[in-house]
Structure 1
Amino acid sequence: MIKKIRGILIKNRLWIIVILILNFIFGGLLWLSNDKAFCYIFPTMIIGSMILYCAIAFILYKNDLKREDAIYNYLNEPTINNENQIINLFNHEEGNVIRKIGGILRENQSTINTYKQGIDEYEEYVEAWAHEIKTPLGLMTFVLDNRKDEISQLAYKRLQYVRTKMQEDIERMLYYARLKSTCKDYFFKEISLYDNCAEVIEEYKVILQEKGIDVSLNVGDCKVVSDKRGMQFIIRQIISNAIKYTDVEETEAKIVITSVENEKYIKLNIRDNGIGVKPYDLPFIFEKGFTGMVGEQRKNSTGMGLYLAKQVSEGLKIKIELNEKYTKGFEIALIFLKIIDL
């Protein structure tokens, strides 16, 4: 309050100085005319002027508070009613400016609401479609699991590949749709790092065999606290990338998964000997839509896998690191901080 009153006095200092000068001029004339009366009247006049200045400053302070509150309310809800209320606190010219600002604010708010409604409808449609597509996908899974003997081995592998890719794309799309959601349905519990890696590898078993990629899983009996579904989604994106960017000239394609544990954290390393990433591409590897410039495989890439993995990892408090020194493929690490009981 004191700072604001001081600010008001500084703002109106010109008028205060003028009035003080007039007081001193009047005091000088009074002293010339009657020096005895000067000793009584002039101090009283100065004290009265100071009291008047403070009273005016306080009144201006209260008016400024009303204007400030009215402006905040108006900016939050630029309705006609709030506009009429705020105009009463300003003069005619300022009121005209406020009316113009109100028109612009209401137009912008209407545009924002239209776009927001469209985005909400789009997200609802995406989620509804993703759930609807699970019906034919479930039927495909049922046929593959129960009619395997009636399908040729080549067709079976192709259908397994298609099913895995569909599941991967649907899951990726759902996670992307949920990124901006204010409520995350994560369920944190202690889970086995080895079991989760093994489950993801099993999902890609047919594709790995088709591509001739050998997977080495050397993860100890490590327990981490995380959301199982979210963590598997991150690992899935990394494995999918390793498969996608296999070096066609490599005769012994492989993915090596290892773990390192110390007092502070558990690190899960996933390394492949594929085409890798150029050093100048590494700073952008987690950018949305970034695919890099290396390899024919990147032509069909969306650049969303590692972007989504990074976004989900931030929600789960999993740190992702790239090994810039590894040049025989691509290596990425997931770091899980240990929870210490106090």
Structure 2
Amino acid sequence: MIRELVNMLSKYKIWIVTIGILNIMFGVFLWLMDVKGFIYIFPTTITGSIILYGFVGFRVYNIDKRKKQELINFIENPEIKQEELCLSFFSSEVKNTIHAIGEKLREKDDLIKQQDLNLKEYEEYIEKWAHEIKTPLSLMTFVLDNRKEEISLSTYKRLEYARTKMQEDIERMLYYARVKAEHLDYLFSNILLDEICEDLLDEYKILIDEQKISINNNVKNIQVFSDKKGLLFILRQILSNSIKYKDIDKQRSFISISTKVHEESKDIILTIRDNGIGIKSYDVPFLFDKGFTGDAGQQRKQSTGMGLYLAKQVADNLNIKMVVSEEYKDGFEISLLFPIIEEYYN
């Protein structure tokens, strides 16, 4: 409030200075004409002036404050009714400008509403398409699972690879729409990390075998409280990257999955490490940015940069902290830190 009063005094300083000079001139003339009258009249005049100016200043301050508030309300909601209320506080020469601004703001609002509607329709279409594509994908899965003996091994592996990639892409699309939604429908429950990691590795077994990657599974029977689908989505993005970005120049490729409980914080930590092409240290701060692919050679040229971005969004919603190791230089290492549920440690 003090700052606003100072700003108001600065705004009307020309009038304050003028009135002050007039009072001084009046005092000088009064003193020259009648010294005795000056002693009695001038202090009374100054006191009355201060009271009058204070009242006027307070009134002007309130009017300026109301003007400012009505102008803000008009900018936030430029409807005709709000514009008319705002115009009532301003002089006629300003009214035309405010009216022109109101028309432009209403045009912008209409355009934004139309774009929001188009975007919503587009998102609904994409989500509907992603669900519909699951039908032929399920049929493809059925054929691969039940007619495996009728398909050559090389063809089977290629189809399985295509199916897995399609599932990943569809799942990313659905989660992209999901993390942007106003209401999240996560279902939290107790999850055993060893079981969910076994399911994950079974899902990617054909790709892992095809890429000749060794798996070191050291996940312990530790329970966490989270959303199973969301956690699986996060783990899929990480494991998929470890497979995709293996170092073809190395004779032995591996992916290691392990768990531990931090001694001090008691955080449950799930770590996935590989000896692939890794990521440059200067790229680490941007790894979870939308669309970021990094500077890691030819293999990242086809990357969309959406996998880890979406994984981080889901992890944040599940209160899981994702930490990328900058010390590990022989590939890539990322850890998931799960929040502590006290009842497990009482």
* TM-score, normalising length: structure 1: 0.90
**Which residue of the partner structure matches residue 281 of structure 1?**
283
User: Tell me, what secondary structure is at the counterpart of 1:300?
Assistant: coil
Shift of the alpha carbon at 1:3? Answer: 5.8
Q: 1:22 to 1:117 in 2, by over 3 A?
A: same
**Which residue of the partner structure matches residue 223 of structure 1?**
223
**What is the number of equivalent residue pairs in this alignment?**
342
Which amino acid in structure 1 is aligned with residue 141 of structure 2? T
**Which residue of the partner structure matches residue 128 of structure 1?**
128
User: Tell me, what secondary structure is at the counterpart of 2:221?
Assistant: coil
**Which residue of the partner structure matches residue 171 of structure 1?**
171
Cα offsets for 1:20-41 (capped at 9, x unmatched): 3322322332333333433332
User: Tell me, what secondary structure is at the counterpart of 2:133?
Assistant: helix
What is the CA–CA distance in structure 1 between the aligned matches of 2:233 and 2:296, rounded to whole Å? 25
**Which residue of the partner structure matches residue 208 of structure 1?**
208
Cα offsets for 1:242-276 (capped at 9, x unmatched): 11112233343221111121242122111112222
Which amino acid in structure 2 is aligned with residue 203 of structure 1? E
The reply on whether 1:17 has 2:33 as its aligned counterpart is no
Which amino acid in structure 2 is aligned with residue 330 of structure 1? F
Shift of the alpha carbon at 1:114? Answer: 2.7
| Aligned pair partner of 2:269 in 261, 264, 267 | 267
Cα offsets for 1:71-130 (capped at 9, x unmatched): 122011112332232222112222222223223322322332232222212211111111
What is the CA–CA distance in structure 1 between the aligned matches of 2:147 and 2:288, rounded to whole Å? 41
Shift of the alpha carbon at 1:173? Answer: 1.1
Which amino acid in structure 2 is aligned with residue 26 of structure 1? F
**Which residue of the partner structure matches residue 116 of structure 1?**
116
**Which stretch has the larger CA shift, 179-188 or 190-199?**
179-188
**Which residue of the partner structure matches residue 44 of structure 2?**
44
* Contact 1:193 1:224 (8 Å CA) reproduced: yes
**Which residue of the partner structure matches residue 333 of structure 1?**
335
What is the CA–CA distance in structure 2 between the aligned matches of 1:65 and 1:267, rounded to whole Å? 54
The reply on whether 1:107 has 2:110 as its aligned counterpart is no
**Which stretch has the larger CA shift, 104-113 or 230-239?**
104-113
**Which residue of the partner structure matches residue 234 of structure 1?**
234
Q: 1:26 to 1:290 in 2, by over 3 A?
A: closer
User: Tell me, what secondary structure is at the counterpart of 1:221?
Assistant: coil
**Which residue of the partner structure matches residue 299 of structure 1?**
301
**Which stretch has the larger CA shift, 136-145 or 234-243?**
136-145
Aligned ranges 1:42-121 → 2 under 5 Å: 42-121=42-121
What is the CA–CA distance in structure 2 between the aligned matches of 1:284 and 1:320, rounded to whole Å? 13
Shift of the alpha carbon at 1:4? Answer: 4.1
**Which stretch has the larger CA shift, 146-155 or 250-259?**
146-155
Cα offsets for 1:134-164 (capped at 9, x unmatched): 1111222233333334444443333322222
Shift of the alpha carbon at 1:226? Answer: 2.0
Which amino acid in structure 1 is aligned with residue 296 of structure 2? V
What is the CA–CA distance in structure 1 between the aligned matches of 2:21 and 2:295, rounded to whole Å? 76
What is the CA–CA distance in structure 2 between the aligned matches of 1:247 and 1:323, rounded to whole Å? 18
User: Tell me, what secondary structure is at the counterpart of 1:206?
Assistant: helix
Q: 1:126 to 1:29 in 2, by over 3 A?
A: same
What is the CA–CA distance in structure 2 between the aligned matches of 1:132 and 1:160, rounded to whole Å? 20
User: Tell me, what secondary structure is at the counterpart of 2:257?
Assistant: strand
Aligned ranges 1:131-142 → 2 under 5 Å: 131-142=131-142
Shift of the alpha carbon at 1:170? Answer: 0.4
Which amino acid in structure 1 is aligned with residue 289 of structure 2? E
Identity %: 51
Which amino acid in structure 1 is aligned with residue 274 of structure 2? D
* Contact 1:5 1:57 (8 Å CA) reproduced: no
Which amino acid in structure 2 is aligned with residue 306 of structure 1? L
**Which stretch has the larger CA shift, 124-133 or 324-333?**
324-333
Which amino acid in structure 2 is aligned with residue 284 of structure 1? F
User: Tell me, what secondary structure is at the counterpart of 2:180?
Assistant: coil
Which amino acid in structure 2 is aligned with residue 20 of structure 1? G
* Contact 1:5 1:58 (8 Å CA) reproduced: no
What is the aligned-residue RMSD (CA, Å)? Answer: 2.4
Shift of the alpha carbon at 1:175? Answer: 1.3
Shift of the alpha carbon at 1:172? Answer: 0.8
Q: 1:39 to 1:133 in 2, by over 3 A?
A: same
Which amino acid in structure 1 is aligned with residue 132 of structure 2? E
**Which residue of the partner structure matches residue 308 of structure 1?**
310
Q: What are structure 1's unaligned runs of at least 5 residues?
A: none
**Which stretch has the larger CA shift, 148-157 or 224-233?**
148-157
